[in-house]
Structure 1
Amino acid sequence: MIYSTIAGLLLTLTSVATASALPQANTLESRQAASVSTITFSEPILAPHVISTFPNGTWVENLVPRSEDGNFVATLLSAPEVYLLSSTNAFPPLLLAQFPAHTGVLGVVELGHDIFYAVVGNFSLKTFTSTPGSYGIFKIDLNGHSAGARTAGHGKLSKQLAKGVKVAKVADLPNAGLPNGLTVLNPNTGILLVADSAKGLVWSVNVFTGHTAIAVNDPSMAPNATLSGGLALGINAVSFSNGYLYYDNSNSVTFNRIPVNSTTGHATGPAEVLADQEFANIFPDDFTLDFAGGLWFACEYGHIAYLSGVGAGTFQPDIVAVAGNTTGPVGLTSAKFGTSAEDLKRGSLYVATNGGPFTYGGAHPAQGQLVRYDTALLGFY
């Protein structure tokens, strides 16, 4: 996801306020009881494990685990490309799709077995501006792709397209300003919800018919450029769960939810602010839900923090991992939990990075990467 400031963290929240609507587990009480309140920026716990690396200047934007094998489908914002990344580094990044008429790819989801949908359009990383009306939703079908066609080993990525992958545009977004995060609303009817970070609203897209409409337009989603040095980015990441649409707002630094109709995506009640950030140097980007009701956010500087106190409307971060000034993963853009048996055992959280152009004033001291953090070490699982 695109973020709104040069600050950044990977954050996790747990809260009684969200527990009623989020997935639960028997370990929730022990998770909430776990304390890392004494941890500071100088006392990191979790070590990064770099899985895949792209050349300098590569902005890996979004991730989704592939249900078929636990690997990851990843989008690039620095190029109009989508890759398959091995969660174990068993093969180099595999190019699945290219979109030469566009400049980058943003959110991606899986809807049905090996059927992925991605936001594709024109966003300039030089000027950090979007071209409204240039975006569309594309279908990427991996059902015809064979693992036997991959190159084994840890070699460099190839620009040769993978065999057996079918790509097609399913919808145009002519009125969108900056479509960003994606979530599946209704897999049976083919409805996706798309966050528009520039316009501060959510679009519904029927991938079967191509029909698009405004689903939700709430003030809590609106951008406010005065809060982030002139960059207007409101609602960023979205996730539908148990009748609620969960979303963050990069400019206002809030985490919110709103009840929505599971068929249309239209709001059925008022929005709630679940977390309101008081710290000027923490700005949310992408997030993911864990099985115990926790929320993990990805942001820019490469820190990982455990957040509590969400029910009070504010939260206090406790740092559990941190990147150095010039070392370690920076520019965290997306976070998703792994799905393999080994990943579940480790509590493996996979993070995409952009190399830190905002952290380091436009430079890329590190490559875009796929990085793994084993959160089970925190005692949450």
Structure 2
Amino acid sequence: MRSLRSLVPLLFTASSLATNSSYSPVSHPQVVTRVVYQFPKPTWLENIATLRNGTLITGILGSSAEVHLVDPTTNTASLLHSFSGFNSVLGITELDTDIWAVITANYSPTDGPTLGSGVVWKIDLQNSDVKVDKIIELKDAGMANGLTTLNPQTLLFADSFHGNIGRVTLSPNGSATYTVALTGTNLDANPNGTMPLGANGLKYAAPFLYWTNTWESRFVRAPIDAQTGERVGEDEVLDEEQGVYDDLVVARDGKTAYVVRPYAKTLVEIALPVKKGEKAGAPRFVVGGTGSTVLPGATAATFGRGSDRGVLYVSTQGGNTGDNGEGVTLEGGKIVAVYLNGVGAC
């Protein structure tokens, strides 16, 4: 199995070092970026989401399973919770109002992921006292990576090693069950290959589940049932063979997806089909690029939820000196604000 050194750049997941938040223009004349907050080197930020109050929530991969809050108005960060017994946070999603779900797991610097080590947790932020409870251990899943909310009783995650979409169903009595919701060639993994990960980043934006497939260099969506998460129509390949895609976010109007490309150090936008028979638009460069230090090792993206609804916040893992994630880490992971002329998101 591949070592973590080569696996981690495909996953794309502490706080005492603030940075200068000055603005810097990029190639697109209407896009401006700024560093909101940078963590110490080496810190790998694997995921990012936005709380109802506008605060950003992000998780660390490969060193400590920590969840941090970052305030984009004050450019400060604080530790929300550290999960003992784990070294990575692989998914974050809002399950219900101010109630969040996260996936933790373990990774070895030499042997890659510990299969079946994933655990889903609930973080309750409804009161000043943060409450953290275990939802379920995913012992039968290979590599739980990425997390999205289908409804307040159902979570979906990508099993990147087994090449499927897992489902966690919560019951009123507090118990939970794990089943496989989706399989198929567009989710397949290649565990014995040089690019082992199948389904990777995923987001539910009704009526579609969107996901990236790392091994297949593919961005896909499928219409799914809002209660079960199972397919109710055919897959649509929105883009393929454009390099490695990781995580994504879908605009609130459902017309555009923004996808991060870690190796290419870029954020791209893809116009989505809105009518039957339409095809997705070609990927359009937004920011970053070869040699750029704006988004080194981009891992995930989220939109603001307040007056910053037109701002896309991108997390990074710090980048590497070599190609395909090899070599020395360039810098600490950071959160970058990308200003997109008022486009909102779901």
In structure 2, the CA distance between the partners of 1:274 and 1:318, relative to structure 1 (3 Å rule), is: closer
Could you tell me which residue of structure 2 aligns to residue 286 of structure 1? 247
In the aligned structure 2, how far is the partner of 1:60 from the partner of 1:96? 14
Q: Which has the higher helix share?
A: 1
Q: Residue type of the partner of 2:186? A: S
In the aligned structure 2, how far is the partner of 1:308 from the partner of 1:4? 29
Could you tell me which residue of structure 1 aligns to residue 168 of structure 2? 205
Equivalent residues of 1:253, 1:276 under 8 A apart = yes
TM value normalised by structure 1:
0.75
1:87 to 72, 80, 90: 72
Structure 1 counterpart SS, 2:245: coil
CA deviation vs aligned residue, 1:121-142 (integer Å, no higher than 9, x gap):
1123x33711111111011112
In structure 2, the CA distance between the partners of 1:351 and 1:331, relative to structure 1 (3 Å rule), is: same
Find out whether 1:120 has 2:86 as its counterpart. no
Could you tell me which residue of structure 1 aligns to residue 134 of structure 2? 169
In the aligned structure 2, how far is the partner of 1:103 from the partner of 1:307? 33
Equivalent residues of 2:116, 2:140 under 8 A apart = yes
Q: Tell me how far 1:4 sits from its aligned partner.
A: 6.9
Could you tell me which residue of structure 1 aligns to residue 22 of structure 2? none
Q: Tell me how far 1:263 sits from its aligned partner.
A: 1.7
In structure 2, the CA distance between the partners of 1:377 and 1:112, relative to structure 1 (3 Å rule), is: closer
Q: Tell me how far 1:242 sits from its aligned partner.
A: 2.3
Could you tell me which residue of structure 2 aligns to residue 267 of structure 1? 231
1:295 to 257, 260, 271: 257
In the aligned structure 1, how far is the partner of 2:82 from the partner of 2:10? 31
Q: Residue type of the partner of 1:295? A: A
- Choose between structure 1 and 2 for higher RCO, CA contacts under 8 A separated by at least 6 residues: 1
In structure 2, the CA distance between the partners of 1:236 and 1:137, relative to structure 1 (3 Å rule), is: same
1:338 to 304, 323, 335: 304
Ranges in structure 1 where 5+ consecutive residues have no aligned partner: 9-41, 146-163
Equivalent residues of 2:10, 2:214 under 8 A apart = no
In structure 2, the CA distance between the partners of 1:246 and 1:66, relative to structure 1 (3 Å rule), is: same
Q: Residue type of the partner of 1:289? A: V
In the aligned structure 2, how far is the partner of 1:3 from the partner of 1:244? 31
CA deviation vs aligned residue, 1:15-67 (integer Å, no higher than 9, x gap):
xxxxxxxxxxxxxxxxxxxxxxxxxxx94543320001100110101111101
In the aligned structure 2, how far is the partner of 1:307 from the partner of 1:262? 24
Could you tell me which residue of structure 2 aligns to residue 215 of structure 1? 181
Structure 2 counterpart SS, 1:220: helix
Instruction: Map 1:1-381; keep pairs closer than 5 Å.
Output: 43-45=27-29, 46-67=31-52, 69-78=53-62, 79-90=64-75, 92-124=76-108, 126-127=109-110, 129-145=112-128, 164-187=129-152, 190-207=153-170, 208-224=174-190, 230-277=194-241, 279=242, 282-292=243-253, 293-300=255-262, 301-307=264-270, 316-323=282-289, 325=291, 327-341=293-307, 343-344=308-309, 347-357=310-320, 359=323, 361-376=326-341
In the aligned structure 1, how far is the partner of 2:222 from the partner of 2:283? 24
In the aligned structure 2, how far is the partner of 1:181 from the partner of 1:137? 11
In structure 2, the CA distance between the partners of 1:247 and 1:318, relative to structure 1 (3 Å rule), is: closer
CA deviation vs aligned residue, 1:328-351 (integer Å, no higher than 9, x gap):
33010001111111x13xx20000
TM value normalised by structure 2:
0.82
In structure 2, the CA distance between the partners of 1:266 and 1:55, relative to structure 1 (3 Å rule), is: same
Equivalent residues of 1:172, 1:210 under 8 A apart = no
In the aligned structure 1, how far is the partner of 2:159 from the partner of 2:83? 21
Structure 2 counterpart SS, 1:330: coil
Q: Tell me how far 1:244 sits from its aligned partner.
A: 2.3
Q: Tell me how far 1:6 sits from its aligned partner.
A: 6.8
In structure 2, the CA distance between the partners of 1:376 and 1:170, relative to structure 1 (3 Å rule), is: same
Structure showing greater Rg: 1
In structure 2, the CA distance between the partners of 1:271 and 1:3, relative to structure 1 (3 Å rule), is: farther
In the aligned structure 2, how far is the partner of 1:320 from the partner of 1:184? 27
In structure 2, the CA distance between the partners of 1:7 and 1:117, relative to structure 1 (3 Å rule), is: closer
In the aligned structure 2, how far is the partner of 1:354 from the partner of 1:290? 24
Q: Tell me how far 1:267 sits from its aligned partner.
A: 2.2
Q: Residue type of the partner of 2:207? A: G
Q: Residue type of the partner of 1:81? A: E
Q: Residue type of the partner of 2:197? A: L
Equivalent residues of 1:273, 1:313 under 8 A apart = no
Q: Residue type of the partner of 1:363? A: V
Q: Tell me how far 1:73 sits from its aligned partner.
A: 1.2
Q: Tell me how far 1:210 sits from its aligned partner.
A: 1.5
